[in-house]
Structure 1
Amino acid sequence: MARHFSLSGFPEWLPEQRLVEQHVLSTLQRTFELHGFSGIETRAVEPVSQLLSKGETSKEIYLLSRLQADQATDDAELGLHFDLTVPLARYVVENAGRLMFPFKRYQIQKVWRGERPQDGRFREFVQADVDVVGQDTLSQHHDMELPLVMVDALSKLPIPKVVVRASNRKVAQGFYEAIGLADIEGALRAIDKLDKIGEKAVAEMLMADGATDEQASQALTLAAITGSDGSIADQVLALGARSERLDTGLNELVDLVEGANELMPGSIVADLKIARGLDYYTGTVYESTMVGHEDLGSVCSGGRYDSLATDGKKTYPGVGLSIGVSRVLARVLGTPLVEASRSVPTAVLVAVMDEEHRRASERIAVQLRDRGIPTEVSPSAAKFGKQIRYADRRGIPFVWFPGDPDSVKDIRSGEQVDADAAQWAPPAEDLHPTVRMLS
């Protein structure tokens, strides 16, 4: 007999947990479509050269190969995609002639990363992305639209409140230029690690990349600025550094924060320590954390990218956000903070009088299913008491008893009434499993 090997980093939910996941995914889909986003799905693999085009990510890529591969005739080296943004860039370029711009898409799909599994981090996981992509230009107001879509979506999920924080890389880049930092991209990557490794370690990283002690201190002072209105600009300008890029970034950030909070009060907080480590972000960047679970890290992140997608003639700028669905589920299911009302979709179990009359029970089940009622037939013709206990263990709320007339019993309350399979229906709240947060 083959030995079973457990693989960490590849979540496999139990049926009742899968019901929660399906509820989350369907809620996200409905909300994204409510905001006018169209769903797409892209292939799971991309050329490695394409995956590497957005920065230093080679250690995260799972390579794809065949046991009988012929190196002389095989196509370019392939890898499993580790996010949904790079595939989107390729998809937009290949289909630009058939898309309407600005192109608003959502994508809910699995991705793969070859990193060490830990709390909230997996090798295989589900992401849910929303992006708006333009052709040559993309209006700045989409930078405000996207986080509000996510605030709406996240508020409908059975999870703790999520706080969306935003910054603008132009602010940090312009500030670093003004104070004379040589390695601006290195500084952004260092600041992005602030929550994980602390100020002292970040300062050491900055100085290792050529910053002076004073420049490192100034960068950390900038990163400490937060706010929910235009006062964030005053705090930044009070530091004394000025540049054209800095002014542009501040204007964009203030417009974003004030506009979003006017439409949805308290929806977004400016936080200048957010940098996002990936190289393709060019302006607004976002991160989000669940209240009371900040140790999990960001559960929804993204930003503006003005030059990720191009065919050499046209450029397709975009802005997008991504929810780490599996990361959120691992926390709310593992704690647990949420549960499904039952572990199976079934609302009705049709009892079987005896095996000779099983066909009669199956005909009743067909009638109920034809009317949209999730139904299964008892697997055995045991005594009714055992069939009821079977339904109870599975969380099935109703048991149907064939007879003359038929009857149906709510096994939670004990109430039993005569019923006709062509007319009877369970209460709306019992038709499908529901999901709720635990107090």
Structure 2
Amino acid sequence: MRISSVTMFEQSTASMNRQQSDFLKVNQQLASGRKVVNPSDNPQAASRAVGVDQSMSMNEQYKNARVSARNSIQQSESVLHSMTDAISSAKSLLIQASSDALTDSNRASIASELKGVYETLIGQANAADGNGSYLFGGYKDNAPPFTRTTEGNISYIGGDINREQQVDASRRIPVGDNGKAIFQSVPSGAGYVATAIKEDNSFNAGSVTFIGPQITNVNDEGYGSDYRLSFGGTEEAPTYTVERFDKAAGTWGGIPGQVEQPYAQDGSGKQQISFGGMNISLEGKAQSGDQILVAKANSEQRGPDLFRTLESAIRVLENPAENDVDKAQRRNTLNSSIRELDNAFDNISSVRASAGARLNELDVIDAVGVNRMMNYTQTLSDLVDLDYAEAISEYSLRQVGLQASQKTFVDMKSMSLFNYM
């Protein structure tokens, strides 16, 4: 078979071009530091690298989300810490105001100081973060969650659901508690609170005061129910009836086996009454129609409200006590307020503990995220990063191959019989 000069030329050129292409490919790898420069170099590795790269990007986004979540939780915890200090200060003022040695002007001064604590708590309840979102408004974080009604009371208008943020692929974490859960709730283990107030929220007409209630038997059949002492009879022969609230029927009713009893039958004006695994000590004169509610702190009969508690305390301290009835109202209100402040303090402390637990969880998730990123980085490196020792050896080999191909081309190009004639 005759091999033409054109065929030899084309084969030599093709060989040289192939060697040059392989040499340039290794050159690109060395320049970029990657062994997969184009997807065609290794389609399977390139495809896996895209997936790993996407996972790394998502992991970075979750990291940024955790930074944002941590900032919000830390701000909330800081505000709640200030609130516990304010509540402790308010409680100290109420204990001071309970002293019989104080005059009405002294109590008015305490009321003025208590107003400052009250306004501070309202301001903190409407605190916002650096982005303008209100910390305690739940999902309705674009407006102050607490506003004053036309009657001057504080009302919550925020959302009832806590604001959450996705901080990992399978974890959403609350980054802001709603104000209702903080200021209008109590811990699940909160006990009973007594209030000397009627169903229409008016004060009693008599001068009866209470101490307690004290728990005597949590295993009592009636423990956990709400109770009401209703006074009746005449001024000369007052009586009382213990009623229990029926949640199913939504009404008050007498306790089976208990009937109307005489009040302060020994003439001392003092009496201790036991019911539902607790007892309460009463003192003073009761008038027909007076009532004392003894209910769980989270009862529907008189739900917890930190601001209402302070409003009631300020109101009785501002008004001078001109008679025994006024003094009884003041004492009862202060006793109830102190217990309700204790419950509010415990509830906010529980929320703070929850915030601390969430911060700890974010630290754990961060550590997992760092390890995950290291694994992604190593996997991506194994897929696309260049082994320089191997690449340099390949570079030298391809360089020799290219030079040999070029030399062969030059030698074959000059081959002709005329050169030997």
- TM-score of the superposed pair, with normalisation by structure 2: 0.28
- TM-score of the superposed pair, with normalisation by structure 1: 0.28
Please identify which structure carries the higher strand content.
Answer: 1
Please identify which structure carries the higher helix content.
Answer: 2
